[in-house]
Chain A
Amino acid sequence: AQTVTQSQPEMSVQEAETVTLSCTYDTSESNYYLFWYKQPPSRQMILVIRQEAYKQQNATENRFSVNFQKAAKSFSLKISDSQLGDTAMYFCAFSYSGGSNYKLTFGKGTLLTVNP
Chain B
Amino acid sequence: RKEVEQDPGPFNVPEGATVAFNCTYSNSASQSFFWYRQDCRKEPKLLMSVYSSGNEDGRFTAQLNRASQYISLLIRDSKLSDSATYLCVVIPSGTYKYIFGTGTRLKVLA
Chains A and B bind each other: no
Chain B residues packing against A (C-beta within 8 Å):
none
